[in-house]
Structure 1
Amino acid sequence: MTNFQHAPRRPRGRRLAVVGIVATGGLLLAACGGNDDMKGMDHGSKDSSVSAKATATPASGDFNDADVSFAQMMIPHHQQALEMAKLADGRAGDGQITSLAGKIEKAQDPEIATMKSWLKDWGKPVSPSSDSMPGMDHGSDSMPGMDHGSDGMAGMMSQKDMDRLKAAKGAEFDRAFAQMMIDHHKGAITMAEDEQKSGRNAKAKKLAGDVIKNQSAEVTTLRKILDRL
């Protein structure tokens, strides 16, 4: 009887041991699985970061000389518009002029950063060389319409124009600002139209379209302001 009593206990002990091993193995597998899941989450996070960077990479892809010229020329053009807009603070007498100047700053400052990032992405300098940009030669015949202003770009104000704007206040500033910004915007619109005709990069052409749309609307507003001043 003793032998029969001890016989069932031994398999039971083995079964318990097996259960313990299986349970331990299950925990280990779960832990490993958890680590794999966490690795997967980390990997996914890295992928998301890489994806975000890839999406943020500006104007990557096909481009041509027209795209490069557009960015290189529009950057200083926008910079002068910002300089003019900032002068409105403390000088403008008309509330609509002040409001429009603020809108110009908000719109064109980010566009400058965007175009600079394009040029970096394309491996091109922000400023064009005089040899590669014959149209920047103060009114070169090779680029009709690009002879307005001291920098040879359409709509650019001369230093004399800027000094006159800085010295003006109230209604005098408002009139000068409106007229100068109309001319300045018209120059930008011409440059943007050229980009849409000759450019290749989709993002650059899209920005050119935005310039045409937004600045044409601002020209209309500025003309109405001039009419009532």
Structure 2
Amino acid sequence: MSAVTNTNILLIRHGETAWNAERRLQGHLDIALNPEGERQAALLGAALAGERIDVVAASDLSRARQTADAIARAHGLPVQIDPALRERCYGGFEGLLYTEIAQRFPLQFAAWQARDVDAVLPPGVNRGETFRQFHQRATGALLRWAKAHPGKTLALVAHGGVLECAYRSALGLALESPRDFKIQNASVNRFTVDSGGLGLASWGEVEHLRQGVLDELS
């Protein structure tokens, strides 16, 4: 009987954007990194430069591609693009502050906050996804990348929602359960993939983001 070959995934959330800082929902809208996000991406790339990484891939949205570029440059690798790694599409919620969503779409906002995973979002520039649909897309993309690169170490740069889906899948959490775990910009989150699916090795590594401050004090 042959041994199971694990694939390692470094699942990374993109660096900060101006909309992150002001709590404006991005979804599929293409928002670039702000100066803080660019700083985070540079620190992330430096921190991972000494690690084995065989493949770098990212969502096709600018904030993820920019973050992935910093990792790829340090390893001399291209960034492969996969739209399936995008954030959840929030339909008419996109581009609005949380307070604005609550005012304009009170019923849909209440269902979202109550974690109704099959709630339909209001239409907007983009067509929204239910959380269940999004979870299937996001986890399916991660498993597809792992299957295509058995035994390799992948750096996949995505979005907070994708990280949430991976965390829930790895720990077997119900989609309806509250999100009581932090998802931080430019964080490194380590998963393994074997025949049993996703497993969580480490969550929320952000020590590399403090290096810039420490360097300034030295």
> Do both proteins adopt the same fold according to a TM-score greater than 0.5, normalized to the shorter chain?
no
Structure with the larger strand share: 2
Structure with bigger helix share is 1
Q: Shorter-chain TM-score: which interval?
A: 0.3 to 0.5
Structure number with bigger Rg: 1
Q: Which has the higher contact order (CA 8 A, sep 6+)?
A: 2
